Structure 1
Amino acid sequence: MKTKLSLSLAGLALLAACQNKDKGSTAGKEVRTEFFDKSGMDTTVNPGDNFFLYANGQWMKKTQIPKTETGWGSFYTLYNDNIKSLDEILINASKEEHPKGSLEQKVGDFYASGMDTVAIEKLSYTPLKPLLAKIDAIKDYKDVLNFVAEGYKDGNGDLFGFYVGPDDKISTKNAVNFSQSGTTLPERSYYFNNDAQTKKIRAEFVKYMTQLFVLTGSTKEEAAKYADNVLKLETSIANSHSTPVELRDPQKNYNKYYVGDFQKLTPDMDWKTLLGKMELKTDTILVGQPKYYQALNNLLKSQPIEVWKEKLKFDAINSATPALSKDFRKARFEFFGKTIQGLKEPKERWKAIVSSTDGNIGELLGQLYVKEHFTPEAKKRMLELVDNLQKVYRSRIEKLDWMSPATKQKAVDKLQAFIKKIGYPDKWKKYDDVDITRDNYYANLQSADKHAYKEMVDKLGKPVDKTEWGMTPPTVNAYYNPSINEIVFPAGILQFPFFDFGADDAINYGAIGAVIGHEMTHGFDDQGRQYDKDGNLKDWWTAGDATKFKDKAKKVTDLYNGFTLLDNQHVNGELTLGENLADIGGLAIAYEAFKLTPQGKSDKKIDGFTPDQRFFLSFAQVWRIKSRDESMRVRLKTDPHSPEMFRVNGPVYSMEPFYKAFNIPATAKMYVAPANRVGVW
């Protein structure tokens, strides 16, 4: 039931997901005294054979993934620490009386309503009945389209992937962007592959759909039939979908149409009427994957109307399950949690509701969060680090031996134009039209959904607001947004092991320094490089330089294609290319910036390691994550980030300073000859 704003963000990680915290106490305030976990290393592994395991091997052997998690490690523990802090804020807000409409009242009552499982159990799926009744009243495919379009205003839209945001080729202007949608499984191959694991997932999907239909009043026989029908329909829809790799090409996924022209491609979809019902006043639209809408146009008439109603009902129930009674939530967990992600137990209720609060009214909760957990000093220090890395990046661009002066100047111009956002927005979003009460969680979600939709469609016809954030302040992540040309570091990630005031420079530069460099490099990866300094999808490269870039990027693709894990499952070097380029470039830039610091210029050991060794070990322990096999299988197909072992090993084995730091001989298993090392920036 949530209409999400879709942004083309190159994030640090898919999960909002760090190390064991060794703290002492000084004057009542907790102070960290250790910044590196020697006990987690496995020194029986040669650093030249597998640096990730050398740095993290003992930790990997000993660590048990909690039953409620898809994995465990850096992002996960930081995320869990953060969510505890947010929970304390929300508990305090929910305990006290606050003026109606105040941010404390809204976040406190939203949280309280989600935690009131007694009221939620009493309602069962009653809040969903009006929506299901609307679907029952549908008589033909035109009614399907009208239902879909009208539903978006209430957060119940379906079949259209869309958002209002920057036009990739006119970055100052907001446009209506449509994309493929209509399926439930992680991506198209799940509908067609016939390996045992994928067939099991499809069987469990049918079982899950059957359960939801039974829980909303269908007989088992009816429910089983409906589920089979929906799977067949979604399979037909998936046949029109682009692959995850195809979706990474910004030029091929930019298709601008006058509404009348797109109408000719999809003659049975009355776009003028549909856009009107969606409150979108425009004569042009951007369609990422026209093939999907052409297929949808044909399927609307060729598939029985009853099957479409079954599909709409399933989508409505499935979307609402987190807000319904326990039997719905249990069914959802059995499929998405156990089958897809490999979880053993669902997350605690309070964690789910904290996440829901952040997801729905995040810039209200964020204001309370930064008051308690983010200081002006941290923001100032981060800006210094960003500026330092930006200077190093400029120097590296100017020294490139493969790029012409003309393209170098354009690259420097883009680098200097980066918008830097750190911690939290300068201007907070308003939620004045969101009505929150303590006694109706479902209604609170609906109110937040209506607000989010109105906020989004109100952008149409207005200039792009470059102050807007795509993540909330507590988020443990970071991102680069090509259409704004911005790098963004929420307060949530600016904590140990990524960043700590008390840590030496080797630790901070190996961690947050590499993160900063990573996000900067997204501006120049295989996707980001296609956008100019103003965020427009516009070619600013000479033909020769573009060819050289592609040749270098191809070597990165080939390297990562060779990495395997599980039962010889390969990393997809094309899908992960952008993130791999960012990892490689980010570490190289962070190292060069580190070498400008006093510690970087010294040879003084800490914990028995030289400054350079400490830098690389800090980087490796930041990516100390252990994942469930089920979750990793999904990631290999859908995640643009490589598995963590290769996020470490890929970059370090392409850096000469790494070889020198650990005295790695040419006979080491992962030694890469200088002529074969990869890297662009």
Structure 2
Amino acid sequence: MTLRPLACALAFGLIAGLAAMPSADAAKKKRAAPKAAAAPSACSDFYASANAAWLKANPLPAGTASVSALEQLGAQVRRQQFELLDTAMNAPQNNVQKLLGDFWASGLDEAAVERDGAQPIAPLLGRIDAIRKAKDVPPAIAALHQVGIPVAFNFSADIDLDDLDRHIGYFAQGGLGLPDPAYYTRDDADTRALMARYTEYVQKILALTGTPQARLADDAKRVIDLETRIARASKGLLDLRDPRANYAPVATASLAKRYKRLQLAEFLKAQGVSDDTVSMANPQLFATLDGLVGSLKPAQWQAYLRWRVGDAMAPYLAKPFRDAHFDFRGRVLQGLGAPPERRQAVLDAITLAAGPMLGREYAARYLPAATDRRAEEIAVQVRDALGAALERDARLSPAAKAEAQAKLAKLAIEVGTPRRDLDYSVQPMGRGSFGSNMLIASTWRHREEMKRIGRGNADRRWDVLPQEPALAYDIAQNRLIVTAAMLQPPVLDTGKSAAWQYGTFGALVGHELSHGFDNRGRMVDAKQQLRDWWTPAEVAAWNGVADRIAAAYAGFDYPGLKGAKVNGPQVRDEAVADLAGVELAWAAYRKLQPAPARNADQDFYKGWASLWPQQLSEEAARQRAATSVHAPGQWRTNGPLLNMAGFGEAFGCKAGNAMQAKEPVVLFP
């Protein structure tokens, strides 16, 4: 038995004490030193063996929650975006780069931002000051939505759950300055303390927007009173988790009669929306808002709207705005110790307001055409491997197999950027005012979002940006999305062998594609209709395999947490997808190379392991163990591989080795 370090120290201390005593045995014999622990091997702990160099080179820095290979990819992507924006600022090559470069320059010019003060929002505040009667309030609300500042409620484009081929507009709750409506109605000591801090923050922002000192306290009370009325008519956060419960299609034509004071028909026209249907899952909220437009004095609406504009724009204005915003939203609500450095803050702002523009240029600069083609080639081959696996799957009936094949035939693979580009016509932003540029860009972004509404627009763009590392299956649109930022090491390294590429990128593709045909994917059929196309027997068969995988993971120790195990049921579905991904990528690779050299097979598995090295603080490990649907890196690596006969053959593992399951689970025999 290998002794722990503390046990070793105690043992040596005992030996030293005994050696000091007169003992014939001690004098005659030389005690052997304990053997050092054996280094992990491929057959004992492949994760530790394959990632030994990375783990040694990347210790967890003090005060850092985690470091991982994929987090390093994220850091690389940020550096690339900084480089792109610096180049666009100094030597733009096209109009979009000129817009981005000017935007970037205006954000980095802190002296100009300070000189600007509150001037960028002056036109919005002037519009609010012009409110005289109740009928002036709804147009002001609509105008703020147009520039990307949602007030009173939220309105956005999303999938029509009864027709996945189109987006409709969703009228939803919003307009609050606090993240949970319950804050406004609870009366415990912690909530009262938070509300006191919130009131101070509201007063600071109102003062910065020009509210006279003598009116600050009263106007802050007006703001919180109006928000409290909205909160009381809002649903709790738990009620918002079920998409079906928050989908309620109504005829657009009915809105004008039901909500006359709120002028929702005019609101839609102002947003450029002419669709015949919208969703409104909480009509009581909008009835309340309709009543408040008529019952509250215009002065109360003015205070609320001034506050919402100041709060929304505070991160992009002069330092007093930014400091007030961070002190409450950063320190109090998020527990942050310091705001992001200026370059990161400006990048975050550009991503929010003009992310698709940046994404287009990012892909053009950092995604070589050859890499794009290689990614699509591998994805197609893994898709074909999935088709073959589904066809031979004995758990599926002939009807389910036919539906699966029809769905797979319609699968779209979109790599790098969305297939449908956006309209990049936007008025010149220039370098004069960062806050004004934010409003110009967010107005453009809102306009493009509204264009998603209508039939045939559901695939207009992605819900991730090309410059965000992401590889995902879009269940509503039956498509695989691979962003430009994802197509670089460690995910796709074109300098590595084909086997390695299938073990990394190919396995991730297989993981995501499996979601179209698993416990979730079975709820959307080949016609993109919401229906369960599995029989109860097929569901039971799938659950039988999935539960075996969950039980196996529940026996794994959670790294870094003494006595803790992986939560098998919690990680079950993603662990199944990991196994599916490795199996499908292996099948695609072996079809390409039926008889590769042994070291090529090893490359496949080493590639898979290279995705998951990580170092976690104890606190981060504890949090992830409680909440994450993914297993920790050690078991994302080892969990699928110990079920695969090909792994044991590649590394010469024998029965009884830790990396050889006693009863392997094979997802696609």
Q: TM-score range by the shorter chain?
A: 0.7 to 0.9
Return the letter of the residue paired with 1:620. Answer: W
Q: 1:181 aligns with which of 168, 174, 177?
A: 174
**1:88 matched to which residue of 2?**
83
Q: 2:606 aligns with which of 607, 614, 629?
A: 614
Q: 1:240 aligns with which of 217, 236, 241?
A: 236
Give the superposition deviation at 1:256. Answer: 2.2
Q: How does 1:53-202 map to 2 (within 5 A)?
A: 59=55, 63-64=59-60, 71-96=66-91, 102-132=95-125, 134-135=127-128, 145-183=138-176
Return the letter of the residue paired with 2:582. Answer: L
Q: How does 1:659-674 map to 2 (within 5 A)?
A: 674=663
Q: How does 1:421-460 map to 2 (within 5 A)?
A: 421-425=414-418, 428-460=421-453
Give the superposition deviation at 1:566. Answer: 8.5
Q: 2:582 aligns with which of 579, 587, 595?
A: 587
CA separation of 1:429 and 1:260: change in aligned 2, threshold 3 A: closer
Identity %: 25
Return the letter of the residue paired with 1:294. Answer: Q
* 1:96-123 deviation per Cα after TM superposition (whole angstroms, max 9, x unaligned): 4878xx2232122121112121111112
* 1:609-639 deviation per Cα after TM superposition (whole angstroms, max 9, x unaligned): x446524422423xx36479589969977x8
Task: Please say if 1:294 is aligned against 2:290.
Answer: no
In 2, the alpha carbon distance for the partners of 1:561 and 1:401 equals 27
CA separation of 1:277 and 1:387: change in aligned 2, threshold 3 A: closer
The 8 Å contact of residues 128 and 302 in structure 2, kept in 1 or not, is answered as yes
Structure 2 residue ranges without an equivalent (≥5): 1-36
Is 103-112 or 77-86 further displaced after alignment? 77-86
In 2, the alpha carbon distance for the partners of 1:506 and 1:530 equals 34
The 8 Å contact of residues 168 and 535 in structure 1, kept in 2 or not, is answered as no
Give the superposition deviation at 1:419. Answer: 1.0
In 2, the alpha carbon distance for the partners of 1:572 and 1:139 equals 59
Is 272-281 or 399-408 further displaced after alignment? 272-281
The 8 Å contact of residues 479 and 487 in structure 1, kept in 2 or not, is answered as yes
Give the superposition deviation at 1:231. Answer: 7.8
Give the superposition deviation at 1:439. Answer: 0.6
Give the superposition deviation at 1:342. Answer: 5.4
CA separation of 1:217 and 1:367: change in aligned 2, threshold 3 A: closer
Task: Please say if 1:402 is aligned against 2:434.
Answer: no
**1:377 matched to which residue of 2?**
370
In 1, the alpha carbon distance for the partners of 2:312 and 2:515 equals 32
CA separation of 1:409 and 1:672: change in aligned 2, threshold 3 A: same
* 1:414-439 deviation per Cα after TM superposition (whole angstroms, max 9, x unaligned): 12211111123455433223321111
Give the superposition deviation at 1:495. Answer: 0.5
Give the superposition deviation at 1:354. Answer: 3.4
In 2, the alpha carbon distance for the partners of 1:70 and 1:124 equals 36
CA separation of 1:443 and 1:134: change in aligned 2, threshold 3 A: same
Aligned residues: 623
In 2, the alpha carbon distance for the partners of 1:347 and 1:179 equals 31
In 2, the alpha carbon distance for the partners of 1:566 and 1:237 equals 43
Q: 2:475 aligns with which of 453, 470, 482?
A: 482
CA separation of 1:529 and 1:286: change in aligned 2, threshold 3 A: farther
The 8 Å contact of residues 480 and 488 in structure 1, kept in 2 or not, is answered as yes
CA separation of 1:600 and 1:516: change in aligned 2, threshold 3 A: farther
SS at match of 2:156: strand
**1:507 matched to which residue of 2?**
500
The 8 Å contact of residues 653 and 660 in structure 2, kept in 1 or not, is answered as no
Give the superposition deviation at 1:59. Answer: 3.5
SS at match of 2:115: helix
Is 385-394 or 170-179 further displaced after alignment? 170-179
CA separation of 1:611 and 1:496: change in aligned 2, threshold 3 A: closer
Is 508-517 or 209-218 further displaced after alignment? 209-218
Return the letter of the residue paired with 2:146. Answer: K
CA separation of 1:575 and 1:616: change in aligned 2, threshold 3 A: closer
Is 432-441 or 361-370 further displaced after alignment? 361-370
Task: Please say if 1:387 is aligned against 2:380.
Answer: yes
Is 434-443 or 486-495 further displaced after alignment? 434-443
* 1:52-92 deviation per Cα after TM superposition (whole angstroms, max 9, x unaligned): 6776698499644698x875433333233233333233223
Give the superposition deviation at 1:177. Answer: 3.2
In 2, the alpha carbon distance for the partners of 1:505 and 1:522 equals 25
Question: Which protein has greater RCO, CA pairs closer than 8 Å, 6+ apart?
Answer: 1
* 1:229-266 deviation per Cα after TM superposition (whole angstroms, max 9, x unaligned): 5885676466434457x33xx54444322246678998
Give the superposition deviation at 1:203. Answer: 7.6
**1:320 matched to which residue of 2?**
313
Return the letter of the residue paired with 1:541. Answer: W
The 8 Å contact of residues 60 and 617 in structure 2, kept in 1 or not, is answered as no
Give the superposition deviation at 1:553. Answer: 6.0
The 8 Å contact of residues 523 and 529 in structure 1, kept in 2 or not, is answered as yes
In 2, the alpha carbon distance for the partners of 1:169 and 1:475 equals 30
CA separation of 1:203 and 1:490: change in aligned 2, threshold 3 A: farther
The 8 Å contact of residues 499 and 600 in structure 2, kept in 1 or not, is answered as no
In 2, the alpha carbon distance for the partners of 1:195 and 1:395 equals 59
CA separation of 1:576 and 1:343: change in aligned 2, threshold 3 A: farther
The 8 Å contact of residues 575 and 636 in structure 2, kept in 1 or not, is answered as yes
In 1, the alpha carbon distance for the partners of 2:636 and 2:445 equals 35
In 2, the alpha carbon distance for the partners of 1:475 and 1:575 equals 26
In 2, the alpha carbon distance for the partners of 1:284 and 1:500 equals 46
CA RMSD of aligned residues (A): 5.0
SS at match of 1:162: strand
Return the letter of the residue paired with 2:430. Answer: T
The 8 Å contact of residues 342 and 628 in structure 1, kept in 2 or not, is answered as no
Give the superposition deviation at 1:487. Answer: 1.0
Give the superposition deviation at 1:648. Answer: 5.2
In 2, the alpha carbon distance for the partners of 1:515 and 1:343 equals 33
In 2, the alpha carbon distance for the partners of 1:199 and 1:651 equals 50
Q: How does 1:349-360 map to 2 (within 5 A)?
A: 349-360=342-353
In 2, the alpha carbon distance for the partners of 1:659 and 1:265 equals 68
SS at match of 1:604: helix
**1:4 matched to which residue of 2?**
none
The 8 Å contact of residues 182 and 231 in structure 2, kept in 1 or not, is answered as no
CA separation of 1:359 and 1:626: change in aligned 2, threshold 3 A: farther
Give the superposition deviation at 1:384. Answer: 1.6
CA separation of 1:334 and 1:667: change in aligned 2, threshold 3 A: farther
**1:540 matched to which residue of 2?**
533
CA separation of 1:64 and 1:515: change in aligned 2, threshold 3 A: same
Is 327-336 or 217-226 further displaced after alignment? 217-226
Task: Please say if 1:517 is aligned against 2:510.
Answer: yes
In 1, the alpha carbon distance for the partners of 2:186 and 2:336 equals 23
Return the letter of the residue paired with 1:450. Answer: T
Give the superposition deviation at 1:501. Answer: 1.1
Give the superposition deviation at 1:360. Answer: 3.6
Task: Please say if 1:413 is aligned against 2:418.
Answer: no
Give the superposition deviation at 1:402. Answer: 2.0
In 2, the alpha carbon distance for the partners of 1:474 and 1:587 equals 26
